Amino acid sequence: MEVGAAGNKNNMKIDMLIGSLSVSLLVALPTKAQGTFQNLNFESADLSAIPAGQYGGLVPIASALPGWGATVDGVAVTQIFQNNYTITGPSVDIFGPNWNSVNPGIIDGNYTVFLQSVAVPGETDDASISQSGAIPSGTESIQLKAWSVQATPEFSVSFDGNNLSAVALSTGQSASGQEYTVYGFNVAAYSGDSGQLQIATFVPSGNGQSEVEFDDIAFSPQAVPEPDPLALTGIGAVLFALYRRFAPKRQ
C-alpha cells in the first residue's frame, strides 16, 4: 500500500509537470509564431508639424508609418512625402498634422495615407503599403475608410497573397469635410492566420492615374455581404460628383 501511495504521488507530480509544460507551450507558441498588426489608423507617426498652408518634403518611413513598409513600382522605399504629393508620378504620402486641404484631406484623426499610381502605355508604376501580422481569432472582416480622386476607387487589399473583394458598406464625412466610403473585406477564412496585409493602388486601364486615401483599418467580428457591382457603381458615381465639385486645381 505504501508503494502504491508513493507511486500515485509520483504520477500526480508527473501529471502536474506535463500540464504545466502544456500550458506553457500553448502560451508561448502563438507569441512566437504570430506577430500583431499595429498602427492601423496611422496615428503613431512621429513627425514634426509643418505650418498650415505649407508643403512638406520627404520623411523617413520609420517615422511616418511605424510598423508599415512601402513600395513604389515594386521597390521598397525608405522615405515618403509628408503634407505633399506628386502630380504625375507614383508615390506614398502621409497627410498631417496641420494639413488643411479637403480633397485630398485627412479622413480621421491627425494622419491619413495617400497612395498614387501612374500608368502610361507599356509601363505601370504602382504604390503600396504593407505589414505582417496575425488576424485576430474570431475576425470576420477587415474594414477601412477610403477616398478616391477617381470615380471608382482603384485599389486592392490582399492578405498573405490572396486578393480580397471590396464591399462598399457606408459613406461618411470627416470633421474637415472630407467625404469617404467605408469598405469591408471578408477574411473569416484567414481568422487566426499570420501573413502580410497589403494595400495597393493600381491603374487597370493601363493609362492614367489612381489616387486613393486610406484610414482607420480595423478587424471586425461582423461579416460583410458579398460584393454588389451595382452598389459599387452607384458609390463611384457619388464619389465622382464630389470630386468634380471639390477637387483642388493642381499647379
* Residue 203: per-residue pLDDT: 85
The mean of the pLDDT values for the chain is 80
Residue ranges per domain, the chain?
A: 1-33, 58-246
Q: How far is CA 233 from CA 168, 187, 204, 230, 237, in A?
A: 10, 23, 16, 5, 6
Domain 58-246 class in CATH: mainly beta
Percentage of residues of the chain with pLDDT beyond 90: 58
Structure confidence at residue 100 as a pLDDT band (50, 70, 90) = confident
Average of pLDDT values for 156-172? Answer: 96
Average of pLDDT values for 176-201? Answer: 95
pTM for this model (two decimals): 0.75
Report the alpha-carbon distance of residue 85 to residue 76 in Å, rounded: 18
Cβ 197 vs Cβ 131: under 8 Å: yes
Average of pLDDT values for 17-44? Answer: 55
**Phi, psi at residue 150, to the nearest 5°?**
-80, 160
